[in-house]
Amino acid sequence: MAEPNVLLVRIDNRLIHGQVATQWNAELGANLVIVANDEVAANAMRQSLMKMAAPRGARTRFLTIADTAAAVAAATERQRIFIVVETPADALALVRAGVPVSRVNVGNMHMTGDKRQVTPSVAVGEEDVAAFRELRAAGVELEVRRVPGADAEDAEKLLA
């Protein structure tokens, strides 16, 4: 059996919004978009707001991390999967659950609490840095890029 076709995992604390629906999904050509987050999977209000911005031509599902791992494991070759997570911890949980993740795109991580700004659109805290280090140690490529046409920023900023 072929390995599941996970095109990209994107960290974006806004999850599905205009950039994800129009630019990222158009670039990737996904036919399945999974929002993988335990809290969102149980929050009908957040789901309904994201459904309004969901990309046309792709099925959108809101799953827990565990259910995402099961769905990816059961995916057919025809499924071109784009996974959107809220945090680096979610991305790491996918890897730990056995989802074949080769690349994580870091899009938007807002400034809150004790985080520090490392790029105009990304702020990290110690927990984020630890998750990024573990992702890198697992062989996952990290890229910082808000939109597909932009140049990638230095991912080492995520680890400092």
Which one of the listed residues 4, 13, 14, 17 is annotated catalytic? 17
d(CA 16, CA 61): 11
Residue the block writes with tokens 């995992």: 9
Q: What are phi and psi of 143, to 5 degrees?
A: -135, 140
- Return the structure tokens found at 84: 């959107």
**Which of 58-78 are b and which e, b meaning 16 or more Cβ less than 10 Å from the residue's Cβ?**
bebbbbbbebbbebbeebeee
110 is catalytic: no
Give the residue numbers annotated as catalytic, written as ranges: 17
